[in-house]
Amino acid sequence: MKKITIHTMTPDDINEVYELESLVHPGHHWSKDAFYNELSNKLAHYYCLRDEGNKLAGYIGFWQIFEEAHITTLAVHPDYRRIQLAQILLIRLIEDCYKDMIKYITLEVRESNYQAINLYEKFLFESIGVRKNYYQDNGENALIMFTQNIWYDTFKSNFDRIKNNINRVSFEYVK
């Protein structure tokens, strides 16, 4: 993959997003209606990541609540894993946070999802607690993960390092 684009999710994207959601989370996934509802939520921001052939490779969503961003979903198609696309989606989210003066980012993640946990820890998320029986499909617990203030030098320098090391793909943001 040579070039990818990231654009704001629209209703035209929902069918493909739903297909990817079903593939990535076969036991318990969001419905199409859930995604449509999110697009009308004033707190919500959703982005799609597409390859040079315009195929959906991933997406991310978050809610902006005062000075906090809460990641609601992040998915990368299995064919596009291990080429930094999840990192690129997180970079997009964090850049939005800086633009909107957000201070903290939070999320829940399955305790068993070690790949996602490692990704979030790379971005200096820390586990601050557990939501017992959070996932409805199997009762699995969720780790609650939170960043320090993203304006602190420690976070910013780590973020800049990650951003500068994204070198396998070129990407651009489109409206």
| CA–CA distance, 4 with 47 (Å, rounded to integer) | 13
CA angle 129, 21, 40 (to 5 degrees): 85
| CA–CA distance, 143 with 100 (Å, rounded to integer) | 26
Q: Which of 46, 59, 80, 120 is catalytic?
A: 120
Mapped onto helix, strand or coil, the DSSP state of residue 159 is: helix
Complete DSSP assignment for 17-51:
HHHHHHHHSSSS---HHHHHHHHT-TTEEEEEEE-
| CA–CA distance, 29 with 22 (Å, rounded to integer) | 6
Told to judge if 172 belongs to the known catalytic residues of this protein, a careful annotator would answer: no
| CA–CA distance, 166 with 112 (Å, rounded to integer) | 26
Told to judge if 36 belongs to the known catalytic residues of this protein, a careful annotator would answer: no
Q: Which of 16, 68, 108, 111 is catalytic?
A: 108
Active site positions, annotated: 108, 120
